[in-house]
Amino acid sequence: MSFDEIRSRAVSEWEALEGSDKTRIFIGAATCGRAAGAMALFDVIQKKLAEHNVEAIVGQVGCIGLCYIEPLISIAKPGRPHIYYSDVTPELAAQLIEDYVINDNPRPDLALGSTGEGEIEGIPRLFDLPMLKPQVRIALRNCGIIDPENINNYIARDGYSGLVKALGMKPEDVGEEVKKSGLGGRGGAGFPTGLKWEFCRKSPGNIKYVICNADEGDPGAFMDRSLLEGDPHAVLEGILIGAYSIGAGEGYIYIRAEYPLAIERLKLAISQMEEYGLLGNNILGSDFSFKLSIKQGAGAFVCGEETALMASIEGQRGMPRPRPPFPAQSGLWGKPTNINNVETWSSVSAILQRGADWYSGYGTEASKGTKTFALAGKIVRTGLIEVPLGITLEEIIFGIGGGIPDGKRFKAVQTGGPSGGCLPESLLNLPVDYKTLAQAGSIMGSGGMVVMDEETCMVDVARYFLTFTQDESCGKCVPCRLGTKQMLDILNDITQGKGKPEDIDLLQGLSKQINAGSLCGLGQTAPNPVLTTLRYFGDEYEAHIKEKRCPALACTDLITFYILPDKCQGCGICLRKCPSEAILGDKRLVHIVDQDKCSKCGTCLDVCPAKFGAVVKVSGEEIAVPSEPIPITPAKKGTEDSPESSVSDET
């Protein structure tokens, strides 16, 4: 079958589906949907349909990015738009079948939004919702829309037309097109993709490799997982285009073992490509032949670094080596190798499908195109988004992400994972691109954005990132292995109230040495979280060191829980709930916290009835409380008679 025939069949299949006289129901069933219970919905829906003797098409799609309200389903009745419903429990799914499919009430009160032709009264357009409206979905163009396990769905939506176009061009012209688009590597550094290809294409040798880096491991990052689960062919088409331009006959996808569903979908996608002649010898009748294999990681973060990754593909310990030589000169098995990130490859296929000019129409002068971000942490709408570069942090966090939950105040956003930094409120109006983030002391990174609120201690966050680096350092070079350990020790001291004034200079000095002396990006950038928190939240370090106080009330060694004697009504709830048996008291007696036993879990604060509000959490101050339980003072009397004499006699 020629590709034209394949395509026209795929298009007819898609049109038949869209124009079907049956109701179509799609369930978002990526890992995030599944974790929220999506798989249980298939059964419930099928059963309910069978009960009513209704025939419908029930299928699965990937994730559209609205992870905070999953499971998500859409229902399209013949000739009507798709209506999306969120937070769908099995009971709600059954209800919706009953109400909409059977009784034709689309339940606008429950609907989230609609897509496709036609409108339904009372239901907004899905892509007009605040989380979706500012987005430009290029790498994620099909995620949540097509069945990722059906290659025909991809082909019907222009899939592999980019490859067809590329095969009709000279390999170097394909590279030029990518160069012209301004696309930069989406794995972190933003290095111009077309230029990187050129190095590899021009490198001497007949045997060359391309690699797709799917080892995503930055805490807070799940863009690549979602993309591979939602639209694997978009990535695979990009890899083929790159291989053709570079002159590579073989490629690998290196994917972490933590992503079993993505691995399964990739395997399936590759077998479908083979069936259609999109892999193997003389692809689509051209001179281009290509073989693609999946290589599974085994749980080592540093393997995301390109030289470590190649060592791991070769079956060795995944340890980085110095560059140069760069992979383009000497990579996998010593051959010229080009390695790009999952999102980069998916953008490549879009660029070949729609043109460099179209792509470079998005973004800023310095950073073209779009970037995906994973929103996590203390943010209302967690999920996956794709936006034009140049959008501000504020638009992302407050406009798209809905701001901070529980009425709390924004404190910082961490971009770039363990190599990145924490940016404060004063930088919320910063337009996001590679340059601005670097100037602010952070990096774009792969796209994780971890939002923190007023209850997060920035010293603790810096400490936490160094624990991560320590954990994941491969141990090969001394500055990374020992330098980060020393920094971590200092930060541990500071968060435990044992910090010394000279620690800040020490941290800065160590940061410089580690940055200059480490072999790979893991070590070189490990100090960034510390440096940015020192730069923007220096006062928090000062408070910990000088006043032994944690302003965010987060560092357990620096906080104390007290029960206020004038508020305690002796109800005993805290005493019963305390997991550490650290509360003394009895009926109608003022309860007290035994500070020696207290594990600072905060249970007492959570369970103390709001009308009493007797438990407080403080840092850097002492509150007068009786030394042992005493009868409560009747509620009416003011605070004045709280017995001053019974100040705790710890001293």
Partner 1 sequence: MSKIGEGTNPQSQEKRDLLVLLERAQSRSGYLSKRTIAELAESLGLSIGEVYGVASFYSFLSIKPQGRNVIRICKSLPCYLKNAQTIIEGVRKEIGINPGETTADGRFSFELTNCIGACDKAPAMMVNDDVHGDLTPKKISKILQAYK
Residue numbers at the binding site for ligand FMN (CB under 6 A): 185-189, 191, 213, 215-217, 302, 304-306, 339-341, 344, 446, 520-522
Distance CA 260, CA 257 (A): 6
The closest alpha carbon to 561, from 514, 596, 533, 589, belongs to 596
Partner whose footprint covers residue 304, from ligand FES, partner 1, ligand FMN, none (CB < 5 to 8 Å by kind):
ligand FMN
Task: Name the token pair of 583.
Answer: 């509360």
Do you know the residue count of the chain? 651
Residue 192 per-residue DSSP state:
B
Find the shortest distance in angstroms from Cβ 315 to partner 1.
4
Partner whose footprint covers residue 372, from ligand FES, partner 1, ligand FMN, none (CB < 5 to 8 Å by kind):
none
Find the shortest distance in angstroms from Cβ 418 to ligand FES.
12
Find the shortest distance in angstroms from Cβ 38 to ligand FES.
18
Closer to ligand FMN at the Cβ: 75 or 520?
Answer: 520
Closer to ligand FMN at the Cβ: 213 or 603?
Answer: 213
Distance CA 648, CA 71 (A): 52
Closer to ligand FMN at the Cβ: 146 or 352?
Answer: 352
Task: Name the token pair of 524.
Answer: 């070189």
Find the shortest distance in angstroms from Cβ 378 to ligand FMN.
24
Are 491 and 475 in contact by the 8 Å Cβ rule? The answer is: no
Closer to ligand FMN at the Cβ: 479 or 570?
Answer: 479
Find the shortest distance in angstroms from Cβ 207 to partner 1.
8
Distance CA 207, CA 132 (A): 44
Partner whose footprint covers residue 433, from ligand FES, ligand FMN, partner 1, none (CB < 5 to 8 Å by kind):
none
Closer to ligand FES at the Cβ: 219 or 399?
Answer: 219
Give every CB contact of residue 5 below 8 A, 6+ residues apart in sequence: none
- Detail the DSSP E strand segments found in 504-577: 559-563
Closer to ligand FES at the Cβ: 38 or 92?
Answer: 38
Distance CA 190, CA 403 (A): 28
Partner whose footprint covers residue 397, from partner 1, ligand FMN, ligand FES, none (CB < 5 to 8 Å by kind):
none
Are 84 and 111 in contact by the 8 Å Cβ rule? The answer is: yes
Are 224 and 214 in contact by the 8 Å Cβ rule? The answer is: yes
The site for partner 1 (CB under 8 A) is made up of 31-32, 34-36, 67-68, 207, 216-222, 225, 257-261, 296-301, 307, 310-312, 314-318, 321, 325, 330-335, 374-378, 382-384, 414, 448, 450, 452, 456, 461, 464-465, 468, 471-472, 474
Closer to ligand FMN at the Cβ: 177 or 216?
Answer: 216
Element (H, E) at 268: helix 260-275
Question: Residue 44 to residues 38, 47, 495: CA-CA distances in angstroms?
Answer: 10, 5, 50
Find the shortest distance in angstroms from Cβ 252 to ligand FMN.
12
Are 158 and 184 in contact by the 8 Å Cβ rule? The answer is: no
Are 459 and 453 in contact by the 8 Å Cβ rule? The answer is: no
The closest alpha carbon to 267, from 289, 293, 248, belongs to 293
Partner whose footprint covers residue 257, from ligand FES, ligand FMN, partner 1, none (CB < 5 to 8 Å by kind):
partner 1
124 binds ligand FES (CB under 6 A): no
Closer to ligand FES at the Cβ: 218 or 503?
Answer: 218
Partner whose footprint covers residue 177, from ligand FES, partner 1, ligand FMN, none (CB < 5 to 8 Å by kind):
none
Closer to ligand FMN at the Cβ: 188 or 336?
Answer: 188
Find the shortest distance in angstroms from Cβ 314 to partner 1.
6
Closer to partner 1 at the Cβ: 33 or 162?
Answer: 33
Q: How many residues bind ligand FES (CB under 6 A)?
A: 2
Are 153 and 111 in contact by the 8 Å Cβ rule? The answer is: no
Tell me the CA end-to-end span of the chain in Å, nearest whole number.
88
Q: Which residue has the CB atom at the shortest distance from ligand FES?
A: 219
Partner whose footprint covers residue 191, from ligand FES, partner 1, ligand FMN, none (CB < 5 to 8 Å by kind):
ligand FMN
Find the shortest distance in angstroms from Cβ 493 to partner 1.
20
Element (H, E) at 249: none
497 binds ligand FES (CB under 6 A): no
Give every CB contact of residue 120 below 8 A, 6+ residues apart in sequence: 80, 81, 83, 106, 108, 111, 114
- Which own/partner contact pairs does 148-151 have at CB distance under 8 Å and 24+ positions apart? 148/60, 148/61, 148/62, 148/229, 148/230, 148/231, 148/232, 148/265, 148/269, 149/60, 149/265, 149/268, 149/269, 151/10, 151/233, 151/269, 151/272, 151/273, 151/276
Q: Which of residues 196-225 bind ligand FES (CB under 6 A)?
A: 219-220
Partner whose footprint covers residue 297, from ligand FMN, partner 1, ligand FES, none (CB < 5 to 8 Å by kind):
partner 1
Judged on CB neighbours under 10 Å (0-12, 13-18, 19+), 45 is buried
Find the shortest distance in angstroms from Cβ 384 to ligand FMN.
16
Find the shortest distance in angstroms from Cβ 287 to ligand FES.
44
Give every CB contact of residue 283 below 8 A, 6+ residues apart in sequence: 163, 167, 240, 277, 289, 290
Give every CB contact of residue 645 below 8 A, 6+ residues apart in sequence: none
Find the shortest distance in angstroms from Cβ 494 to partner 1.
18
Are 259 and 184 in contact by the 8 Å Cβ rule? The answer is: no
467 binds ligand FES (CB under 6 A): no
Closer to ligand FES at the Cβ: 272 or 382?
Answer: 382
Count Cα atoms within 13 angstroms, Cβ side, for 494: 33
The closest alpha carbon to 531, from 631, 435, 420, belongs to 420
Longest CA–CA span in the chain (Å) reads: 94
Find the shortest distance in angstroms from Cβ 220 to ligand FES.
6
Closer to ligand FES at the Cβ: 211 or 376?
Answer: 376
Closer to partner 1 at the Cβ: 183 or 488?
Answer: 488
Closer to ligand FMN at the Cβ: 148 or 331?
Answer: 331
Find the shortest distance in angstroms from Cβ 62 to ligand FMN.
19
Find the shortest distance in angstroms from Cβ 421 to ligand FES.
18
Find the shortest distance in angstroms from Cβ 219 to ligand FES.
5
Partner whose footprint covers residue 299, from ligand FES, ligand FMN, partner 1, none (CB < 5 to 8 Å by kind):
partner 1
What are 563's strand-pairing partners? 615
Closer to ligand FMN at the Cβ: 145 or 520?
Answer: 520
The residues that touch ligand FES, with contacts defined as CB under 6 A, are 219-220
